[in-house]
Amino acid sequence: MTTTLPPVAKSFFTLCKKCDADRYHTVLAHTSSTAAKMKCEVCGSTKKYTLPKTQSRVGGVVKTISAKTAAARESARRSTHQSEYEHLVNKNEAAKAVSYSIKGNFEANQKLQHPKFGIGFIRAVQSDKIEVVFADEVKSLIHNRP
């Protein structure tokens, strides 16, 4: 039985529900110490792979109960954010990133290369501001500065 997650970018043979057969899946990212996001190499569907639970199941239950704490909410927010970011990365895999500059004039859904925050995706655009989804968080940046 597997007890550790397959490494990112490696192929992993597991059941694809969409194909209804065992397929090779490319590991896209580890979403936690026991879960990974992977993509079926045949149909392209993404799925979450979770390691088979052992005695650590108790920990999982305790975590659910304490979900009301700020820390748990923060971690839930982060994992939601991470899946949004990963979704954008996959969706825009082939897109060319444009370099960020306050003098630039950007459009929604553009892939952005920021010198400090890395690759981001523009979610919303106002006349002087853009909202960009980066790997760690969503940031509001200035643009269209004359």
Does residue 18 touch Zn ion according to CB under 5 A? yes
CB of 47 to Zn ion, least distance (A): 8
**Binder among 5, 16, 27, 38 for Zn ion (CB under 5 A):** 16
Q: Which residues between 22 and 81 bind Zn ion (CB under 5 A)?
A: 23, 40, 42-43
Question: For Zn ion, which is the closer residue by CB, 21 or 124?
Answer: 21
CB of 34 to Zn ion, least distance (A): 22
Give the largest Cα separation in the chain, rounded: 60
Question: For Zn ion, which is the closer residue by CB, 43 or 124?
Answer: 43
Element of type H or E holding 99: strand 98-99
Instruction: Please state, in angstroms and rounded to a whole number, the distance separating the CA atoms of residues 66 and 61.
Output: 9
Classify residue 129 by burial, with Cβ atoms within 10 Å: 0-12, 13-18, 19+. Answer: middle
Structure token pair of residue 120: 């981001």
Task: Write out the residues near Zn ion by the rule CB under 5 A.
Answer: 16, 18-19, 23, 40, 42-43
